[in-house]
Structure 1
């Protein structure tokens, strides 16, 4: 059984708080202004004093909460701080998954003021670490601290984040205009474009009273999920919608921290009307499904998935699996057909880590055929990582050290090893077919990989599949929260024996 996309949900919830990331002291050398300065619009907008608490609901079940606040740094009028704390807690299989993510950021308080520093604290599922960052025009210096590990010092490109990015939603409503900026992500340290636009106000009942609510929609180029926040005239954030699946609602601190007991496997699975045919597990193999709730942007034909539109919003999906063609196979190292992104070493996919590079070299040995080398790596990951759904890690080197995890850890380490061996690779998010103890045929949220060995081929290191069989339906890449709104909306209404004759070749 594989873990539900709790990490994607956590990423998505954190996206809202590009409207509120935050506290670290600015660098000691930061000069104080000689005279009072103009304040950014982010400090002019109304908001509740002391911060706000919101409960986080997945399909109407309480799975977490967050706190957010933006204010001047105590004792200083030239610096602004933004604070975000997010807690996610649910049962995953038989294990309790709990994740805490807290960010404190400091900006210049003037209009267009730059990000000065930030601290990110993470605990629980995914690992425990602290990132302390100082931003200067020449670069973002980050000290990474982990229990029992030596500190790491990283220097990446300087952050372009501005003080208005600390709360784009309220600033957009205040200005009655779109706000565009950059947020430096607190997990991968990459900068992502974030844009907020205003939408027509609407009336709603809030605590038994009809009130007029302003609306702002924020979208990040990372998650690509529109996040809509609703505010009263006094600046209180009463609700945030992450699509139809997940919402945040304003609550008191006591109520916000009162969580439901949620088992995410059962809550988020997609039940099928009947079992898939045996040929779905064969290679070559095939499965044919009729789905609803699948937006058109996900209906892109590929070598593994074909789509035919049907009446009433339904779509026929044919899932295919086959071995890569021998005539297409390449020798190591393989050039990335997408310009190098799938060979890139990142803070998460640490393919430049010495231990990962050495292991990749050992596993591949003298093998030159890329597909054979990829199979060796996938098989090693499948055999040497314990299947543990309560021991997640967010970086490949941590996965290698702990040697356990769920589908996300298997995929992350496999991709890092493949890239280290000179094979372009990426993670694939979607669902996989299983029949669990209750006998109900269903799709469960899952992650596997895709490697370029002369052509793209999908492989599953969790289930030790050198070709991911036709029980896998992919909808996204690289742990991206873009797929999160599908949870609870995607349905399988029919399992067919063969595809429509209208299917494209």
Structure 2
């Protein structure tokens, strides 16, 4: 949960109401004890863990930006149900503003081996908006009641999830069994179910309180986040540290220490400083620029119609960024089939392209226009002109963006994608960096989000800056606000501009 939400927060960098405090938990004893439960329960309860939960401070490039609280055990008074609690609190400065987010999940499972997820409550506060999702799982699907302040409750019916109780803590289950664990997890933001695999690694020796101790090690990878998360667990069951790539870590801390946060200015901390300004042709259409980069993993070096990669002998990579309007001969009428199989036309609890308000506005904007690119330009232009640029107004759902009519790049992109899909145009969000020179005069790449639409061929567009063709200052590294970009934050470098 931490990697996905933190990456989203870093791209958004906004402010909302202060997050409520985490539930009070007792200090974990020096020797954790296994949960008391019948012998026929899942291995997730047999694994040792601190009683009363555990806190971990969340660090980005060694700066404290939040904390995590985790707990798992039998539901009080019941031996047939397991409760898992996971919380993430994020707080950082963005210039003179504060971005703050709280995300809390409580899940209830059957306690037996392979026990199914039966209910969940997800609460969100602060950056991204405020809502509570109360879900009930049945053999045929999930019924989710969505509660938002000042609005009528909504009920959303979703496909079934395959998540089971062992998936609530795959790391400790894998270390207990000394075997890899494969399962799935319901994502707390879009309510999709994604494959989750945890692999046991050789034990390591680590310094804990100045003493070398043997610790278990396991690596988990979700199909949603695609970020290897490495966990280190002491023999007594304490989770000592989690690594999300090279630049983000969660470290076990007492509650008071975990909640004591640094004052971190995220833009300055995470930006990619350039050795010199980009040339003017980078911002022209058509346009091009070449950058020599360091610390760009091979998995990100996938050639596209906009980005080409040439590995250099010294381990660096030459990246050529280009931008041009779609070829007129390739343009097609809408509605179009999604070349990726349909996922870029889907509605979700976040995108909401089947919501009546979204569909009505989309129809109003495109009218009877058949050409998909012309329709897409109309939508991008409307969003650019009608959404106020406001870093203090965050929303994670398209209808909330439409209602408040303000936000930054994530709100502009989310509403644009929703309107495009409603118009029968396949579309998705793109996460990456864009060239800017801020008040300090330093040329740099800043984390940003824009959109990509299929109009007969794929084309990138930026509704935040009203660009119907996103110029070559945009460098995309991920899609749909997931955590794939997390390992690059704070580590990606540009050493030459050509």
TM-score band w.r.t. shorter chain: over 0.9
Aligned to 1:281: 283
Aligned to 2:414: 412
Q: Where do 1:58-457 residues align within 5 Å?
A: 58-457=60-459
SS in structure 1 of the partner of residue 224 of structure 2: coil
Alpha-carbon shift at residue 301 of structure 1 (Å): 1.0
CA distance in 1, matches of 2:342, 2:109: 34
CA distance in 2, matches of 1:402, 1:236: 44
Aligned to 1:8: 8
Aligned to 1:42: 44
CA distance in 1, matches of 2:38, 2:459: 60
CA distance in 2, matches of 1:93, 1:454: 41
Q: Is the 8 A contact 1:125 1:393 kept in 2?
A: yes
CA distance in 2, matches of 1:248, 1:237: 10
Q: Is the 8 A contact 1:55 1:257 kept in 2?
A: yes
SS in structure 2 of the partner of residue 450 of structure 1: strand
Which stretch has the larger CA shift, 218-227 or 151-160?
151-160
Alpha-carbon shift at residue 94 of structure 1 (Å): 2.8
Q: Is the 8 A contact 2:7 2:485 kept in 1?
A: no
Closer, same or farther: CA 137–102 of 1 in aligned 2, 3 Å? same
CA distance in 2, matches of 1:182, 1:230: 21
Q: Is the 8 A contact 1:343 1:424 kept in 2?
A: yes
Please list the CA deviations of residues 17-57 of structure 1 after superposition, one character each: whole Å capped at 9, or x if unmatched: xxxxx9xxxxxxxxxxxx96611111111111111000000
Which of 458, 469, 480 pairs up with 1:467?
Answer: 469
Please list the CA deviations of residues 424-455 of structure 1 after superposition, one character each: whole Å capped at 9, or x if unmatched: 11111100000111110000000000111111
Q: Is the 8 A contact 1:8 1:484 kept in 2?
A: no
CA distance in 2, matches of 1:166, 1:379: 44
Which of 24, 43, 57 pairs up with 1:55?
Answer: 57
Alpha-carbon shift at residue 9 of structure 1 (Å): 5.8
In the alignment, structure 1 segments of 5+ residues that lack a partner are: 12-21, 23-34, 497-505
Alpha-carbon shift at residue 418 of structure 1 (Å): 0.6
Please list the CA deviations of residues 269-290 of structure 1 after superposition, one character each: whole Å capped at 9, or x if unmatched: 0000001000000000011110
Alpha-carbon shift at residue 366 of structure 1 (Å): 2.2
In the alignment, structure 2 segments of 5+ residues that lack a partner are: 12-22, 24-36
Q: Is the 8 A contact 2:81 2:108 kept in 1?
A: yes
Q: Is the 8 A contact 1:93 1:389 kept in 2?
A: no
CA distance in 1, matches of 2:7, 2:96: 17
Aligned to 1:486: 488
Alpha-carbon shift at residue 139 of structure 1 (Å): 1.4
SS in structure 2 of the partner of residue 112 of structure 1: coil
Closer, same or farther: CA 138–153 of 1 in aligned 2, 3 Å? same
Q: Is the 8 A contact 2:7 2:486 kept in 1?
A: no
SS in structure 1 of the partner of residue 314 of structure 2: helix
Q: Is the 8 A contact 2:10 2:447 kept in 1?
A: no
SS in structure 1 of the partner of residue 296 of structure 2: coil
> How high is the TM-score relative to the length of structure 2?
0.93
Closer, same or farther: CA 235–37 of 1 in aligned 2, 3 Å? closer
CA distance in 1, matches of 2:212, 2:485: 34
Please list the CA deviations of residues 283-330 of structure 1 after superposition, one character each: whole Å capped at 9, or x if unmatched: 000111100111111111111111111012100001000011111111
> How high is the TM-score relative to the length of structure 1?
0.91
Alpha-carbon shift at residue 161 of structure 1 (Å): 1.1
The number of residue pairs the alignment matches comes to: 471
Please list the CA deviations of residues 447-466 of structure 1 after superposition, one character each: whole Å capped at 9, or x if unmatched: 00011111111000000001
CA distance in 2, matches of 1:389, 1:163: 39
Closer, same or farther: CA 336–449 of 1 in aligned 2, 3 Å? same
Alpha-carbon shift at residue 6 of structure 1 (Å): 4.6
Aligned to 2:29: none
Alpha-carbon shift at residue 10 of structure 1 (Å): 8.0
